[in-house]
Amino acid sequence: MSAIHPVHLSAVKRGRPVKITNEQILEATRGVFEELGAKTTSREIARRAQVSEGTIFKRFSTKVQLFQAALSIETGDVRKPFAALCDRVGKGDVRDNLTRAASDFCDIRRRVEPIYLAALHGVASPEKQRAALSEYRGDCIQFVEQYIEGERRAGRVDVPRPRAWSVVFVSALWEIAIDMPDDPSVPNVVDALAAGLGRAA
């Protein structure tokens, strides 16, 4: 249960001082986000919560932090499915491991995309908004490369250039997750690229 802060805050209505919890701010954020998605603004959240925008940012330093807290997900979570691959070296089926990681990645990517777009709405161009999230792409590529290299050393795949394969794999999924959300392309991408794995278990 969220603690009630002792600071008196100015309400929008009638200018009367009120007290508000962090959870009430998060509830307002979730409500606005459900209605407006990437077009969510801190002004609308403040109006819904009946507090000033300054009050919100005394509790949550940035819009990204606010949205992550409200939606119980962090933008950096897109890296987790591929980071987990490193523990799968030599285990199970290579194609199955990649397909599971790819599916989990696409699910998280779709969920965090609106957070970044909403956080940067009205601040940056769509291109710069996408670039802000793409900072994690390099990490994803590195994790996949480590996994493929590990499987190569284990003799389960034969990939001459693990880095190049990983770049193509992650880049394809990065776009598919957003541009074709209803298309069953993930298994197809894995199957197509798996042909370049050589001796796959």
25 and 60 in a single domain? The answer is yes
Q: Assess if residue 66 is contained within a domain.
A: yes
Pair (13, 86) in one structural domain: no
Query: Is the residue at 124 inside a domain?
Result: yes
Residue-range definition of the domain harbouring residue 32: 9-71
Structure tokens belonging to residue 162: 């693990």
Domain harbouring 190, CATH code: 1.10.357
Cβ-contact 85, 170 below 8 angstroms: no
Q: Do 51 and 95 share a structural domain? A: no
Cα distance between residue 123 and residue 131, in whole Å: 13
The answer on 117 and 26 residing in a single domain is: no
156, part of any domain: yes
Return mean pLDDT, the chain.
80
Tell whether 39 and 55 lie within a shared domain. yes
- The pLDDT assigned to 98 comes to 94
Q: 101 and 113 in one domain?
A: yes
Q: Is residue 4 part of a domain?
A: no
Which amino acid is it at 195? A
Let me know whether 86 and 171 are in one domain. Answer: yes
Same domain membership, residue 93 and residue 66 = no
Whether residue 115 is found in the same domain as residue 97 = yes
CA 76 to chain centre: 6
The domain total for the chain is 2
Is residue 2 a part of any domain in this protein?
Answer: no
Q: How confident is the model at residue 128 (pLDDT cuts 50, 70, 90)?
A: low
Based on the fold, state whether residues 53 and 105 are members of the same structural domain. Answer: no
- Across the range 149-163, mean pLDDT stands at 93
| 64 and 127 housed in the same domain | no
**Closest of 111, 102, 100, 39 to residue 70, by C-alpha:** 111
CA 73 from centre of chain: 7
Whether 114 shows a pLDDT value over 90: the answer reads no
Burial class (CB within 10 angstroms; exposed 0-12, middle 13-18, buried 19+) of 166:
buried
- The enclosing domain of 14 has a CATH number of 1.10.10.60
Buried b (16+ CB within 10 A) or exposed e, 167-192: bbbbebbbebbeeeeeeebbeebbee
Q: Tell whether 23 is covered by a domain.
A: yes
pTM: 0.69
Q: 114 lies in a domain?
A: yes
pLDDT, tens digit (0-9, with 9 covering 90-100), for 23-74? 999 999 888 888 887 788 889 999 999 999 999 999 998 887 888 888 777 7
Assess whether 37 and 136 both reside in one domain: no
Would residue 3 count as lying in a domain? no
